[in-house]
Structure 1
Amino acid sequence: MVMLHRAFVFLFLVFGFLPVTQPADFYFQGQAQIIDGDINSARQQAIEAALLTANLENGITINSSRESTNSQFHQSHTILNNRLDGEQVELISERIQKDIIVVNVKISSHQSHFQTAGKVSIFLPQLNLTNPAHLRYGQLSGFQQSLTEELSDSLAQKSKLSFPELRADQNLNLSQSFFEDNTQKLPNWIGDMSNSQYVLIGNILNAEVVPAPKSFWDFVEHYPSRQFQINLNLFHAISGEKIWQKTYFINEVWEFERNKILSASSTELWHSKYGQAIKRLLNSIALEIDTQLKERPLMGTFIVKHEKQLLINLGRRNNIQVGDKLKLVLRKDLHTRFQSIKTIAQPSHTELTVTQITEQTAVVEWSKATEIENIQVGDVVIKP
């Protein structure tokens, strides 16, 4: 079902576009769930999701105010005006599929191409399961691995600032206290093993089936519901610090008979209402992680130092290009009075230039080759 609605939106986009003779058109898509039949609110959320994608991908800052009466937009299409160069965004179509509304917007830009943001690698091991007994209903063996793969797919498809390093078969065997203590830092061995910029560790807290309520007049048996609750923790792989955590919860109908045996990787499960609700949640999580990464610079480390050659763990997949300028941050180990070592970072004004790239690594050069001895494996580089 395709529906074109009348809308007029004033938004000011703060963005420095490169002047060209003819504007180029770029397209973004957003979607949202329709709750309680409120299509107008869902449409607004879908538009904001599309603009968030443009924001994350292109550095657009949006301040918006909409003219509406009784939740109805006034004009025939959505137009957004750029305060600097008059870039224009238009809502060109929308469609409703069951309880999901999908909108498409077009940005007419006076720049020849969109800026390429640095992308970080997120190490994604198998999600932990707090209570395996919750999976007995439906006999969902392997649910943690399948769910990890679904989360990886959401990051790969929806995230503009990251890509997953999937290790769905790798269980870190972390203790329950690790998940319960909010002050926990990432164990060093995980950061060293991942060779990624971030590590995403999740804990499935609940996958329990809740029987449908019954009353005296109920002659038809209703399907039960199934809960899904997950806690996610995003760690910086270099510093080990936890930069974000959040717990999510949904409750959806479980439309299978009690004796039904399901494969955790089956299309039947992931096309069910329960599976689709989880997929929508994972897609929104991918976008939320992007908002956490947006203000953080792309960071990597030196992994090889051989004579005058310096190799870092950033490459083409991180949107690193030949000629990029990187800042150097030196590590310094301090011995404490407790006979332990504390590592601190020492900022520097040194600038390195990327001279060669592969998919996962890059060779960098320092103009002051005589002082290269000051750099050691593990030192940090930052892409401003």
Structure 2
Amino acid sequence: MKKRLSLLLSMALAMTVTTPAVAAWYEVTGTAPMVSSIEDARTNAIKDALYRAVNFAGGDLGNIPNISKLITNNRNQYQFANNEIRYMSIDKVDTHRGNIRVNVRIDIYPEASTCHTQQYKKTLLFTHIKVDSPQQAVMGSIYDVGKNFTKVFSRQVELDSHSFVSLGATQYDVNAHTPERVKMIAEDTGAQYIVTGDITDLSATYLKYGDSNMSINREFAMKIQVFDGKTGVRVMDNNYRDAALWPFARTSQVDTSTARFWESSYGHMLRQISRDAMLDLENELACKMTLPEVVARFGNTVTLNLGRIHGVQPGDKLQLWHTGSFIDQRGIARTKVTRSEISLTVSRVYENDAEATINQADLAASVQIGDVMNKPLPNTYN
């Protein structure tokens, strides 16, 4: 599957007080398999084109979910407000080997102040997504579809996300009733967020054409939850549902870890859901503060648990926050974070961690393991 992305014309140069930004037209060919209907395939192909254009332009991927519902309308031109994506024109739609291809021209105005350019990348840990009703997985014996979907989802984040770094998957389960377990796992792995999920529907519908031809349409419904590793609180709860042709024989056993499955019409649909979920993470969590943590202190130097892969660079200025805990009136343990007067400067950067120097040497003794930092915006740091 070959997709062409070319920059056509730089339209304008807008000068601001801090950083220049450029508006530009992009021509993109997006594709999507026809797994359920032509209308759904057209929408998915447009979303594919939007993703590739925004990713190439260095824009905010979180803007795509904000306009996803608008592009379901069958129109040739779209104009958006309050978004980096300003205008979109559908120039051509055709079919090729079972795929819908759309040629789209998109006007994008990347903003220099977008969250993924100002914050360090956040660490995500996945738990294995479970199949709620194993009896629904009997057809094809796809009992491991949740485990393998987790791997695809984690890989999607690792390769394509602007705001997150995947730590892979853990075998431990978490839910809204286990906040202490969430915090314990997050502390052990260095995860800022833990992603879990449940597959709630794998049912199939038999469609008959003529006297003997029959096809199988299979559902896929999933609930995704995200928990804050510091507090154990649920910060995101989304549901996804789609259906696609099940191309395998009813009595065959399907290995959901193979390319044969993931390149099928049903596998393509699951990959589209994986991308949608990744874009929702970008939309809902990219602007949350990234909090590197103090994991060691030697004199006037501390070690942070974020490094080069998270976007940390030598010379970065950081603000320190002291962490503590207390018991509220209901007997529930709470985490308390207090802003300090201590600032730090990153001195050395490694792959997964970094060292920073405490700028106020006389206050170094008050820095404790577990204290967190944030990277203030350039115009707010003092």
Which range, TM-score by smaller chain? 0.7 to 0.9
Aligned to 2:164: 162
Larger displacement relative to structure 2 (123-132 or 252-261): 123-132
Deviation at 1:306, TM superposition (A): 3.1
**Any conservation in 1 of the 2:62–2:284 contact (CA below 8 Å)?**
no
Deviation at 1:248, TM superposition (A): 0.6
Matching residue within 243, 246, 254 for 1:251:
243
Deviation at 1:315, TM superposition (A): 0.6
Aligned to 2:306: 314
Aligned to 1:171: 171
Matches within 5 A, 1:1-384: 18=19, 31=30, 36-37=38-39, 45=47, 48-49=50-51, 52-53=54-55, 54-56=58-60, 71-73=75-77, 98-101=99-102, 103=104, 118-167=120-169, 170-174=170-174, 178=175, 187-208=182-203, 210-214=204-208, 218-336=210-328, 341-384=333-376
SS in 1 for 2:278: helix
Deviation at 1:383, TM superposition (A): 1.6
* Residues in 2 aligned to 1:72 and 1:25: alpha-carbon distance in whole angstroms: 19
Deviation at 1:354, TM superposition (A): 0.5
The residue type paired with residue 192 of structure 2 is: Q
**Any conservation in 2 of the 1:3–1:93 contact (CA below 8 Å)?**
no
* Residues in 1 aligned to 2:332 and 2:179: alpha-carbon distance in whole angstroms: 18
SS in 2 for 1:99: strand
**Which ranges of structure 1 fall in alignment gaps of 5 or more residues?**
64-69
Deviation at 1:31, TM superposition (A): 4.3
Deviation at 1:259, TM superposition (A): 1.3
TM-score, normalised via structure 2 length: 0.75
Q: 1:327 to 1:72 in 2, by over 3 A?
A: same
The residue type paired with residue 323 of structure 1 is: G
Deviation at 1:297, TM superposition (A): 2.2
Deviation at 1:130, TM superposition (A): 1.4
Deviation at 1:18, TM superposition (A): 4.4
SS in 2 for 1:55: coil
* Residues in 2 aligned to 1:46 and 1:274: alpha-carbon distance in whole angstroms: 17
* Residues in 1 aligned to 2:225 and 2:266: alpha-carbon distance in whole angstroms: 23
The residue type paired with residue 151 of structure 1 is: F
Q: 1:375 to 1:108 in 2, by over 3 A?
A: closer
* Residues in 2 aligned to 1:361 and 1:279: alpha-carbon distance in whole angstroms: 32
Q: 1:13 to 1:124 in 2, by over 3 A?
A: farther
**Any conservation in 2 of the 1:128–1:171 contact (CA below 8 Å)?**
no
**Any conservation in 1 of the 2:182–2:232 contact (CA below 8 Å)?**
yes
* Residues in 1 aligned to 2:207 and 2:285: alpha-carbon distance in whole angstroms: 43
The residue type paired with residue 274 of structure 1 is: Y
Deviation at 1:228, TM superposition (A): 0.9
Q: 1:17 to 1:299 in 2, by over 3 A?
A: same
* Residues in 1 aligned to 2:41 and 2:15: alpha-carbon distance in whole angstroms: 29
Q: Deviations over 1:147-191 (max 9, x none)?
A: 111111221233111121112xx32145xxx36x6x967632221
Larger displacement relative to structure 2 (190-199 or 27-36): 27-36
**Any conservation in 2 of the 1:32–1:102 contact (CA below 8 Å)?**
no
* Residues in 2 aligned to 1:340 and 1:117: alpha-carbon distance in whole angstroms: 31
* Residues in 2 aligned to 1:238 and 1:302: alpha-carbon distance in whole angstroms: 14
SS in 2 for 1:298: coil
Q: Deviations over 1:36-55 (max 9, x none)?
A: 45998677655654565443
* Residues in 2 aligned to 1:149 and 1:229: alpha-carbon distance in whole angstroms: 17
* Residues in 1 aligned to 2:322 and 2:50: alpha-carbon distance in whole angstroms: 40
What is the CA RMSD across the aligned residues, in angstroms?
A: 4.5
* Residues in 1 aligned to 2:223 and 2:325: alpha-carbon distance in whole angstroms: 33
Q: Percent identity?
A: 18
SS in 1 for 2:244: strand
**Which ranges of structure 2 fall in alignment gaps of 5 or more residues?**
68-73, 377-382
Q: 1:118 to 1:29 in 2, by over 3 A?
A: farther
* Residues in 2 aligned to 1:365 and 1:93: alpha-carbon distance in whole angstroms: 55
**Any conservation in 2 of the 1:206–1:227 contact (CA below 8 Å)?**
yes
* Residues in 2 aligned to 1:280 and 1:16: alpha-carbon distance in whole angstroms: 40
TM-score, normalised via structure 1 length: 0.74
